[in-house]
Amino acid sequence: MQSPRSQGASSALRWWIMAIPTLPISYYAFYFIFYTPPTGLRTKIRLLSSIYGYIHIISGGLAILLGPIQFVERIRRLHPRVHRWVGRVYAVSIFASGLCGLHVSMNSAAYPIGDYGFAVLAIVWMATMIMGLRTIWSGDVSGHRDWMIRNFSLTYAAVMLRWQLPLFIFSGLTPPGALTVIAYSCWIPNLIFAEWYIGNRKNRKLAVE
């Protein structure tokens, strides 16, 4: 059995491994609004052709930036008001990005089946947030934590998309083909991992008790 100190160090390491990749993705989202990335002119024109694209990118970038903060136990324990207010901004960002993402998904560069994958992601993303809010409003802190783990695994789809896209293209897929695969691979494995993590954490808790 790990000592409390080693458990804390392990938890901190897992947090940094999860949080660090979100920083360049969040930066890229805001960079994309004001500047044109190399080879990104067509994508920028397509995404920013309406207000939906602006809201989706800005709100999504804010969500991926704020999400890791909500998993800092010290903030939750010592500064609950900060946790609540960051959570409110995070929730609004997800609903704004998710609703606009539904519109954007129908105009993606993927094949039609890929558009549906992105649309389902947006719907499940918002649905897990609704469940996260319902559980905390009813006083179910443990259930809230589980639903927010699921929700952030879907927020993390932005990270997986940006890392997977060049890899799939480098492997020989066309950009539309790569995006079609990524429309599912950027979030379904995340959600499976979240379910495994939640179940594993509950089993460890039962073993200690």
What one-character-per-residue DSSP string does 27-85 give?
HHHHHHHHS--TT-HHHHHHHTTSHHHHHHHHHHHHHHHHGGGGG-HHHHHH-HHHHHH
Q: What is the pLDDT of residues 87-129, one digit of tens each?
A: 999 999 999 999 999 999 988 889 999 999 999 999 999 999 9
Structure token digits, residue 152: 């952030």
Q: Give tens-digit pLDDT for 167-205.
A: 999 999 999 999 999 999 999 999 999 999 999 887 766
List all residues 6 or more positions away from 160 whose beta carbon is below 8 Å from its beta carbon. 182, 185, 186, 187, 189, 190
Q: How many CA atoms lie within 13 A of 5 on its CB side?
A: 0
Give the pLDDT band (50/70/90) at residue 36.
confident
**pTM of the predicted protein model:** 0.89
Place of tokens 């694209």: 53
Please, are residues 116 and 96 in contact by the beta-carbon 8 Å criterion? no
Q: Which pLDDT score, from 0 to 100, does residue 62 have?
A: 96
Question: To which H or E segment does residue 10 belong?
Answer: helix 4-19
